[in-house]
Structure 1
Amino acid sequence: MRYQARFMEQAITAGEVNIVHINPFAGQGKKDRRVLISDNGVPVLVLQLYIRADEEGFLVSSAFCDFLCNDHSIAIICGDHLHIAEIISGHFRSFPLDDYVGHIYAVPDINSVRLHEHFLVATYSYVFLVHLTEGILWQSARCAIDGVTLSAIENDVIEGEGDWDPPGGWQPFRLSLKTGEPVCMD
């Protein structure tokens, strides 16, 4: 893969690479994490991610922040938003998820680190199917109250677990990959 991405801990000096500010909050967001994009190991772009403050002024952040990338785009989950950025142009789109983000999974292989045309985002309570150019295709019904993890996709069925009674109250669930509707457990 030509492009790689990683979260940055240290600031990069202005002028070294182009910095794109991903702030869909009309200037009201607060700087959070940075993602460094490299082209065959050479830094080419930094994505400065912002998070929002809620009505009471508390920052909407999550312990989880993750991404998938390919040679054209990167999909990043941070705070309570999904961001999709084109690597070459730096153009981005953001989607509010109205829930803290948890994990991002490639489709059809949830263990892949490469961004595909379709991917899944799990928040603390829901699962979303996303198309790279069309955006969110569906949102599941509530799958948990404090965490959702996915374990497999087989025969167009998503298998996962949701935490209903933290800590450790994990319950299995199955969803249709096509619709997001629950599928009966066997």
Structure 2
Amino acid sequence: MRFDDLPLHDATLSSVHACHETGRCDLTLRLGISGTHVLRFEGFNVLSVPRQEPWGPSCAVNATRQVSPRAYELELQSGDVIHIEARSWTFQKRCDEPPLVSGHPAQMRAAFMAAEAASGGPHVATFVLGKPSPSGSPARAAVEVCRGAETRWRIDLCDGLGESGFQDVRCVGDVVYVGYGQQVAVVSPMTGRVASYPLAGYFGHLFTAEDLDSKALGRSVLVSSASELLCFDAAGERVWRTTDLAIDGVIVHRVVGDAVEGSAEWDPPGGWRPFRLNLQSGKPA
């Protein structure tokens, strides 16, 4: 596989680890239902990892490219470009990734894909968000949901959901959160429950305890839009909604105790201001 063809668009970059002594650099990336992978560079002599975020905060990959025989770049959706010059590279699933099936029920996983490529058939239950095309044309996009190694459900995203430059999906327990257009949908495939919440402006991001490395968040999920922040509990029920936080983007950086800390953009581009909300109520802390 060529470096430019790595399936990393929309993958989440979670860490960069460089060992100067050995000349090895590991980029850890989460690829939805494909799990966590490591992009490893051997014999690196140049490494640039900027975090200036000219397009706004994001850890998602936009594109990969090989710019010379020994030079490689990962463009993030923040606008930052990671540049590495190295002797060679490899890409493989992380060997310590937990198994899909253990003594507990298999983990639920979900990922976006083209509607035409999503699994179908009588063994796959389908949920529909938005308005299906009267002509029967494919949905705009789809989310495929797996239980263990088996595709069990799909969520079709049709017209009428609005527009956004961002999309995201998370599985927390048996609840699937889908952010798309100007909506966030909460789907419980095991029970068939579907709830869709219109957002004030475009969908921004989903934040879980794993994303924020925060035990305080538990199984709750934070959802941001262009101007607001929502909190859902472990059952997928909306707990609070705080509006008028920003005009062009809300980012959560951390959850510390009962406080949600983040940044809100009031003067784009780049006019970010910090905020601090109570985790239980969403009110200013």
1:159 aligns with 2:261: yes
1:22 paired residue number? 128
Q: Which of 37, 44, 49 is equivalent to 2:152?
A: 44
**Alpha-carbon contact 1:32-1:50 (below 8 Å) kept:** yes
Tell whether the 8 Å contact from 1:120 to 1:128 is kept in structure 2 after alignment: yes
1:42 maps to a residue whose letter is: E
User: Taking structure 1 as reference, are residues 41 and 14 closer, same or farther at Cα in structure 2, changes over 3 Å only?
Assistant: closer
1:68 is displaced (CA, Å) by 1.5
Note closer, same or farther for the CA distance 1:154–1:116 as it changes in structure 2 (3 Å cut): closer
Does 2:224 match 1:122? yes
Task: From the superposition, tell whether residues 34 and 176 of structure 1 become closer, same or farther in structure 2 (CA, over 3 Å).
Answer: same
**What is the percent sequence identity of the aligned residues?**
28
**TM-score w.r.t. structure 2 length?**
0.54
Whether the 8 Å CA contact 2:127–2:156 is kept in 1: the answer is yes
Q: Is the 8 A contact 1:162 1:173 kept in 2?
A: yes
Deviation at 1:124, TM superposition (A): 0.8
CA contact (8 A) 1:4 1:37 kept: yes
Matched, 1:174 2:174: no
Distance, in Å, in 1 between the alignment partners of 2:193 and 2:236 is 15
> Residues 50 and 131 (structure 1 numbering): CA distance in 2 closer, same or farther, change over 3 Å?
farther
Q: Distance in 2 between matches of 1:49 and 1:118?
A: 24
Structure whose alpha-carbon radius of gyration is higher: 2
Question: 1:1-186 residue pairs with structure 2 within 5 A?
Answer: 2-9=107-114, 10-12=116-118, 14-15=120-121, 17-23=123-129, 31-52=139-160, 60-107=162-209, 110-111=212-213, 117-133=219-235, 135-183=237-285
Distance change in 2, residues 1:25/1:116 (3 Å): farther
Paired with 1:63 and 1:25, the residues of 2 have a C-alpha distance of 20
TM-score by length of 1: 0.79
Distance 1:2 1:108, change over 3 A: closer
Superimposed CA distance per residue, residues 102-125 of structure 1 (whole angstroms, 9 cap, x where no aligned partner): 01112586347xx96421111111
| Change beyond 3 A, Cα 1:26–1:180 | farther
Q: Distance in 1 between matches of 2:143 and 2:152?
A: 11
Give CA-to-partner distance per residue, 1:15-50, whole Å, 9 cap, x none: 27525232255989x933211112222222211123
Q: For 2:178, what is the secondary structure of its paired residue?
A: strand
Q: 1:108–1:153: 8 Å Cα contact kept in structure 2?
A: no
Provide structure 2 residue ranges, at least 5 long, that are not aligned to the other structure: 1-105
Structure 1 spans left out of the alignment, 5+ residues? 54-59
- More divergent stretch after superposition (79-88 vs 147-156): 79-88
Does the 8 Å contact 1:122/1:128 carry over to 2? Answer: yes
Q: 1 or 2 for the larger relative contact order (CA 8 Å, sep ≥6)?
A: 1
Distance 1:17 1:61, change over 3 A: farther
Q: Distance in 2 between matches of 1:132 and 1:145?
A: 28
